[in-house]
Structure 1
Amino acid sequence: MQHLTTKNQFQLLRERCIADSTRVFSARGKSVVRCEQCQLAAYACICDWQPQLQSHVEFVLLLHRIEIFKPTNTGRLIADLFPRTHAYCWSRTEPDQALLDLLQDENRQCFIVFPADTPEAKAKPREVFSEVPDNNKIKTFILLDATWKQSSRMFHLSRWLESVPCISLPQGALRGYAVRKSHQEDYLSTAEAAALCLQMAGENTNSERLLDYFQLFNEHYLATRGCYPPIVGELHERLAALKMPA
């Protein structure tokens, strides 16, 4: 298998942030020789199992600047699988004009993926959808990609997002996230939240494929952290089959 050579929007944004950064971000395991694309150890690279999927919905990764440098970030997995994923760094007062234009696009219906029953959401009441509307607009899910504390701050301080409704994700069991854990059991990683969005949009197969890729990432990240080669098994075979010509 060959690594994909076309860079997605997350990778391009990360490169710009690195170029603009005045200091090096030091993460745990900084001495590890990493794959430039997936940011896992070279011996645990997942790029050979990365499929390209088609979806009728789109995602916007709105990233806290620190998050984009973290090898544990799972928003990158969404951009890996879905080429139409957008990626922007969050700014309280100076959001990217391209992002503002996207939010004003009359052909889109945008939703913020954020728990509507939190104190932050209740402090600024807005429309909340529990189902994805059935219309011809491009359903666009905005994911606040940050720690839980940072994402709450992003939600609360972004006045330019106040007119965008929230979407209430269904409660249900998802595969556990083995890299970073929240103190709140109902909080999800960015990739898990995206998988639920896909389910709500009726794209159950894409949701399962994203969760497979997410599980693969978890296994290979633990291999990176434990300094051992990952075991190639059925999960790898399922993802590899998606890359084979029909």
Structure 2
Amino acid sequence: MSRAQCPRCMRPQTHCLCDLIPQLDSQTRILLLQHPSEVNHALNTARLAALGLTHAELRVGEVFEDLHGLLNLPGYQARLLFPGEGAQLLQSGAVTDDKLLLVVPDGTWRKARKLLHLNPLLAQLPRVTLPEGAVSRYRLRKAPGPGALSTVEAIVQALEIVEAPRSYAALLRPFEALIEGQIEAMGADTYQRNHSTQS
């Protein structure tokens, strides 16, 4: 018998995060393109970001037939938040004439690259990237490299750069609670043995 699930945050009712999810406004629009393999992941941080930002939209799929319309919003310049050749460091005032539409692929690095491959319009977008040296709070998954962040962490950092001095830290509250809940569920010993970086 499966546990009752919250239809909004998709967590078990006993661990619903909705009370922690803020409703934050932003000038920047966020378009999250989520690989289907992430939808039922226990730590679906893209969903948390989409729920917490009034100007965020979450789409799930591998090929997005309506991508042209999604990327060409009047008054917005689309940028792909993804490292790679030619990626510009994201900075305050990155887009001057129009507002910013930040396109964020969500999935493992391999799945995110697949989304770019299957959607050539994405690959053609100008790329922006975050400054190096960020430390993830995602204590349950080994980062593939330095500066690797969860989707919600990357969005918070990007918004805090583009829309400085405004803080979007409230968006991390449900994320932190999610991590703490997972650690609690696995037990302190298991966490220390498999995930803790402390010696």
Asked if these proteins are the same fold (TM beyond 0.5), I'd say: yes
Per-residue deviation, 1:186: 2.3
**DSSP-derived class of the 1:161 partner:** helix
For residues 142-173 of structure 1, give each alpha carbon's deviation from its aligned partner in whole angstroms, at most 9, with x where no partner exists.
11111121112222342122331110211233
After TM superposition, which residue ranges in structure 1, 4 or more long, deviate above 6 angstroms?
A: none
Compute the TM-score of the two structures, normalised by the length of structure 1.
0.66
CA distance in 2, matches of 1:104, 1:191: 24
Provide the residue aligned with 2:190 in structure 1: none
- How far, CA to CA, are the matches of 2:68 and 2:130 in structure 1? 24
Shift of 1:66: 1.7
C-alpha separation between the residues in 1 aligned to 2:134 and 2:148?
11
Q: CA deviation at 1:39?
A: 2.7
Tell me the equivalent position of 1:240.
none
Counterpart amino acid of 1:187?
A
Question: Distance in 2 between the 1:209 and 1:109 partners?
Answer: 26
- The answer on 1:217 being equivalent to 2:167 is no
The match for 2:81 among 113, 116, 137 is 113
What do the CA deviations read for 1:41-76 (whole angstroms, capped 9, x no partner)? 322222122221111111111011121222211001
Query: Could you tell me which amino acid in structure 2 is paired with residue 44 of structure 1?
Result: H
Matched pairs, number = 186
Paired AA for residue 110 in structure 1: A
Corresponding residue to 1:68 among 35, 39, 60: 39
Q: How far apart are residue 136 of structure 1 and its match?
A: 4.1
Taking only the aligned residue pairs, the percentage that are identical comes to 27
1:57 aligns with 2:28: yes
Please state whether the residue corresponding to 2:156 is helix, strand or coil: helix
1:83-122 residue pairs with structure 2 within 5 A?
A: 83-92=54-63, 95-97=64-66, 99-116=67-84, 122=85
**Preserved contact between residue 174 and residue 192 of structure 1 (Cα < 8 Å):** no
Q: 1:44 to 1:105 in 2, by over 3 A?
A: closer
- Conserved 8 A contact 1:198-1:204: no
Q: Unpaired segments of 5 or more residues in structure 2?
A: 188-199
Contact 1:40 1:224 in 2 (8 A): no
Change (3 A) 1:175 1:212: farther
Deviation at residue 33 of structure 1 after TM alignment:
4.1
TM-score, structure 2 as length reference = 0.80
Q: CA separation in 1, counterparts of 2:179 and 2:166?
A: 20
* Closer, same or farther: CA 224–60 of 1 in aligned 2, 3 Å: farther
Cα deviation per residue 1:86-117 (whole Å; 9 max; x = unaligned)?
1222334xx232x321212341111111112x
